[in-house]
Amino acid sequence: MFPYPSGRLHMGHFRIYSIADTIARFRRALGHNVLHPMGWDAFGLPAENAAFDRKIHPAAWTRENIEHMKIQLKDMGTSFDWSREISTIDPSYYRWTQSIFLKMFKAGLAYRADAWVNWDPVDKTVLANEQVDDRGRADRSGALVERRKLRQWFFRTTHYAEELLADLDALDWPNHVKQRQRAWIGKSQGWEVDFRVWVSSAPAPAPSPNLTVFCPDISRLMDVDYLAISPDHLFLSDWYLPKANAPQVLEYTKTIKVKIPHSPSASHGCFTGLFGVHPITGKPIPIFVSEALMANHAAESVIGTPTHEAADAKFARVHRIMPLDDQLDTKSVEHQLSASGLGRVAVRYQLRDWLVSRQRYWGTPMPLVHCDSCGVVPLNESNLPLVLPADLHDVERGVSPLAHEWSNCKCPKCKKPARRETDTMDTFVDSSWYWLRYCDPNNSETACDTSLASQNLPVDLYMGGVEHSTMHLLYARFMAKFLRDQGMLGDSMAKVDSNFSTQRETFHTLDAANVRVKSTGAEPVITFEKMSKSKHNGVDPEDIIKEYGSDAARLHILYRAAPFDELLWEENGVLGMSRWLVRVWSLVNEQIESEKQGDQTVEGRALQLLTNQVIKEVTTCLKETYHFHTAISNLIKFTHELQGMKSSSAFDAAIRTLVGLMTPFAPCIGSEMKQILGISEINWPEVMQVAESEAVELIDVVIMVNGKTRGIMNISTGLLQNSGAVEAAARDSEIFKKWVQPTQQVKRVVVASGGKVINFVV
């Protein structure tokens, strides 16, 4: 786990940590050595802005938040290993982030280049595309984002593009997560085709480089009616643009460069006065500059095929581009392109290199120096960590506090006056390798001892929102491959469960039954929205814990919805879980005070059979399906079956089983009841051997699935008195296993005719 320390946890956090903690406790009970750490992804713009607003240092604000959130996490009953706690703002951590940057730089995978970036005019910083919403506004400040060209630092993620794509097939990840990454990497196989550039249907002034366009489907080449280039393309310079077209083109590009690239108009464009000569037909193809290519981070030029693409057809209509009617079979096109040297087979990726520099203070400093004589010079490892200055001057947002005295230094090579790099690293750099540091958090000699990396990696379970699938998880995989090549580890993300979101009712009232819309008198519609600070609809876990206890809150969260489904938060469900815990507590106390009786009865064997079935089902839910709601439902039903039973060895075993099975979900009361009953913490309930009776009268029970008879099983007549035992026997039968797949969920069970008929609704 690696949250951002925003200050307070809401129920969305509570849900994720409850799921993780439940699995960790279950694995420990099985006897596994579980690494379940906690740390803080603590750098970032929100902390810097909050500190500026409050006139305090970002470190003070962040550390205060961390301390408060640690208290909340402990109050939740979590079992994190706090001895492994890490924080990205500690020099002992970002010293190794800087070391990794230096390794990237020396390997040629960190480089500097001019780039158009998303500029937030309010926070005055660069934003990643993912931090801009569909309306072109910054996800934090809400400002309309602008386009600016700045000198930026990049990691060459494209170096591993093919490996990142190919290795997805071997990962045991949810298919929708893998598909998102495949789409993000975006491999296309096709042809690179060269169009010689003309001006007004005549050759351009020498030198006249070709316009190279990627054609993913060579059969479309004969249907090209126009070519489109990006507003940054080489051909939009004074050298190439015809004088008659230059003013209009330059004004158009100036206008669209300040627009956000997320919602471009596919039909907006401007004719450049340039033509590209078709490599097969020799006909001139008009070249347009298009704002649509501002959004496409993978291409500077594309073909326009109106007969194949609706967007291209609209563009052609708007700009009155006449279609060219030329037909030639694909093989002939490929042969002519190869023979003329104007085309070649090529592979393109949608994936772009990772922009890692940020114009802000609160981030990991880049360990680089700019020297007028030596150029860009990396610091020596012995000079790490390069620590952020503690003293902050009164500076405007967008002007890095690092751009003052701190930036003045001496060149590591020539010892002449030089300047430190004042950009800091994207916080995703910090969070791309934290999983490695968890294995060896206190090592001052290296980021992680390789023996400990081999012992603890790969990661077995990762939890987070699906929004991380194309950012954090992709960057983590990239970083893992780079560190592997540096001899530090192997690829290390083994399983992902990443579709967690929590919603709650967003109306604000205590008397929901009598609420009316003031203007109309109508009854309001209750909606559910994702919890967030911006909507002010987050539930404070502290209030719930104080009212009901952490166990009841955990149980409700885990019971309310499967981990892969959205959770509609309603507080009244917590009360029901609190009452169930009271019933279990009463059963335990009753069992301690009662005298045990013999078990060689039909009822005793029925209870053993039922207990075994509950063990199997809860274990499957925790080990394979993660259907915690089903597990808790089975435990509640098991509790109902136990109430009113006489004390016996089978009953004692059932009570102990109930407590053992529920403890990962409700650890506080579960651990206390375990102590009372003398049960070891590392002791997951095991299926018991059920003794056979020498003379047992059997009876037929019809098993139905969705109302259709699927078979008949034989059970002891004594079991008919216990519907739970009948259900347990049916679930354990070959008939049930044949007609109900493990992936199917039983929605309802109906036991009728005194136990002689059982119907499973799936």
pLDDT tens per residue across span 728-758: 888 878 898 889 987 788 888 998 878 889 9
Question: pLDDT by residue (tens digit) across 396-454?
Answer: 555 566 767 789 999 999 999 999 999 999 999 999 999 999 999 999 999 999 999 98
Q: How many CB atoms lie within 10 A of CB 583?
A: 14
Q: What's the pLDDT band for 693 if we cut at 50, 70, 90?
A: very low
CATH class for the region spanning 692-762 = alpha beta
The two most distant CA atoms of the chain are separated, in Å, by: 105
> What average pLDDT is seen over the chain?
83
CA angle 247, 249, 251 (to 5 degrees): 65
pLDDT in tens, 647-662: 888 899 999 999 999 9
> 393: pLDDT confidence band, cut at 50, 70 and 90?
low
**Confidence band for 188, pLDDT divided at 50, 70 and 90:** very high
**Domain layout of the chain by residue ranges:** 11-165+357-497, 187-349, 692-762
Enumerate residues 6+ apart whose C-beta is below 8 A from 671: 663, 681
Higher pLDDT, residue 64 or 397: 64
For the ranges 42-56, 149-163, 499-513, the lowest mean pLDDT is seen at 499-513
User: DSSP assignment, residue 180?
Assistant: H
- Say yes or no to pLDDT of 163 above 80: yes
Predicted confidence (pLDDT) at residue 507 exceeds the cutoff of 50: no
Beta-bridged to residue 202, according to DSSP, are: 199
Identify whether the C-beta of residue 761 lies closer than 8 Å to the C-beta of residue 727. Answer: no
Judged against a pLDDT cut of 60, whether residue 519 lies above it is answered with no
Single-letter amino acid code for the residue at 547? E
pLDDT of residue 309: 74
The pLDDT confidence band at residue 503, using thresholds 50, 70 and 90, is: very low
**CATH top-level class for 11-165+357-497?**
alpha beta
Mean pLDDT, rounded, for 540-569? 87
Q: Is the confidence at residue 518, as pLDDT, over 50?
A: no
Percent of the chain's residues with pLDDT above 70: 84
Among 64-68, 92-96, 541-545, which is the least confidently predicted range? 541-545
- How is domain 187-349 classified at the architecture level of CATH? Alpha-Beta Complex (3.90)
pLDDT band at 478 (very low <50, low <70, confident <90, very high): very high
> How confident is residue 88, by pLDDT bands cut at 50, 70 and 90?
very high
Question: Is the model's pLDDT at 632 over the cut of 60?
Answer: yes
Position 464 pLDDT exceeds 80 = no
**Beta strand 146-155 pairing with 187-199:** unpaired
Residue 42 has pLDDT above 90, yes or no: yes
Share of the chain above pLDDT 90, in %: 45
For residue 593, pLDDT beyond 60: yes
More confident residue, 652 or 603: 652
Q: Residue 506 pLDDT more than 50? A: no
Q: Is the pLDDT of residue 467 over 60?
A: yes
pLDDT band of 597, cuts 50, 70, 90: low
CA distance 716 to 697: 6
pLDDT at 524 exceeding the cut of 60: no
Confidence of residue 69 (pLDDT cuts 50, 70, 90): very high
Is 90 exceeded by the pLDDT of residue 526? Answer: no
pLDDT of residue 397: 56
- For the residues 2-11, what does the mean pLDDT come to? 85
The SS3 assignment for 226 reads: strand
| Mean local confidence (pLDDT), 8-16 | 84
Distance of alpha carbon 343 from alpha carbon 224, whole angstroms: 15
Asked if pLDDT for residue 631 goes beyond 80, the answer is yes
The SS3 of residue 463 is strand
What is the 3-class SS of 400-451, one letter each residue?
CHHHCHHHEEECCCCCCEEEECCCEECHHHHCCCHHHHCCCCCCCCCCCCHH
